[in-house]
Amino acid sequence: MPKSSRGKARTATGKQASPVTRSEAEQRSVEAYRERTEEGHRKAGRKPADGTDMVSSGARAVRRMDLRLVDQAIRDRPMLTEDEKLLQHPASDSSAFTRSDPWRVMRIMSEFVEGFDALAEVQKGVTIFGSARTGPDDPQYQAARETSRLLAERGFSIITGAGPGIMEAANRGARDAGGHSVGCNIELPFEQGANPYVDTLVNFRYFFVRKTMFIKYSNAFIIFPGGFGTLDELFEALTLIQTGKIYQFPVVLFGRHYWAGLLRWIQSRMAGEGKISPGDLDLVILTDDPAEAVQAVVDAHEAQTALSVFPTDDSGQ
């Protein structure tokens, strides 16, 4: 690297890159995420501070999260989530390591078992993602609610992250049609609270366990405008399709205008430079029509059903 360019790394907003800048950005990011989540609850007329008031009285909660103060000496923040503790480097004291991570594996295993047990009844599921801050008056909220209603009428269970905004709209649409509404909540540094339209609520400590449930019990993803978490689920699904782990799995991007810039970049940069194949763009369905999104899911489910009549290999995959 030329000497003149050393020490001049910048963030995407042009700030000098440094541990201090990164730490400040991380703290602001967590706080802003909390604010966006609370905004979604406020727009729906609920107080965001008390998560217990946000859970539907009819919901079957598999586990209520215990948001106690833990491991305060490890980080500056007063609370650690289970994800954070898992992803830390092991302590220099080997005995401390053997008392923590191996037992945490058992906890992870139990979380998988609880999730499988709670969602075993879901045979036809569609997971809907999107921003937590979208209010009931937003056209995207109304579109998500209508999409879910149509899916529920066709016998699909609706699965979301259990939060406000688009997630609430999707669970609400399932409730409108008398369908099965599922919420997969995640432990966060603040109490997120589940929306009141969830019938079956499952609380997870680990993001990767929760993401497994989204994929395992879904026949399709419908992705409304959202942030990093929404993009995470989008690219997770596309990677699994691209690598042959799942098949006949529609990934529907709802909102042509919102997704247009991302798709242009994928086409011009990723596909244009050979990082993906041009045909990979056909893995994504783009629409502004709830009925069109639902039909894509129905068609794919029929194709999945047809393929399932053929015998699998000895591994059962």
Tell me how far apart the alpha carbons of residues 270 and 23 are, in angstroms, rounded to a whole number. Answer: 30
Residue 276 lies in domain: 124-307
Pair 56, 197: CB distance under 8 Å: yes
Nearest to 94, CA basis, from 86, 83, 102: 102
pLDDT in tens, the chain (317 residues): 444 445 566 766 778 777 777 667 768 777 877 888 888 888 888 887 544 444 444 555 544 333 333 333 433 445 567 777 767 766 555 556 556 777 788 889 999 999 999 999 999 999 999 999 999 999 999 999 999 999 999 999 999 999 999 999 999 999 999 999 999 999 887 767 799 999 999 999 999 999 999 999 999 999 999 999 999 999 999 999 988 898 889 999 999 999 999 999 999 999 999 998 888 888 999 999 999 999 999 998 988 888 765 555 554 44
> Would you say residue 235 lies in a domain?
yes
Residue 45 within any structural domain of the chain: no
Q: Are 131 and 166 in contact (CB under 8 A)?
A: yes
Structure-token pair, residue 147: 């999409």
| Structural domain count of the chain | 1
Identify whether the C-beta of residue 160 lies closer than 8 Å to the C-beta of residue 38: no
Instruction: Give 221-263 pLDDT, tens digit per residue.
Output: 999 999 999 999 999 999 999 888 988 899 999 999 999 999 9
The answer to whether residue 227 is domain-embedded is yes
- Whether residue 93 lies inside any domain: the answer is no
- Judge whether 278 lies within some domain: yes
Q: Return d(Cα 197, Cα 192) in angstroms, integer.
A: 15
Q: Going edge to edge, which strands form the sheet with 251-254?
A: 60-61, 200-204, 181-186, 157-160, 125-129, 220-223, 251-254, 284-287
Give pTM, 2 decimals. 0.77
Output the domain CATH number for residue 245. 3.40.50.450
In this structure, the number of other CB atoms found within 10 A of the CB of residue 83 comes to 18
- CB-based contacts of 187, cutoff 8 Å, min separation 6: 65, 67, 81, 82, 83, 203, 204, 205
With respect to residue 195, please indicate whether it lies within any of the assigned structural domains: yes
Contacts of 98 (CB under 8 A, 6+ apart): none
Three-state SS at 133 = coil
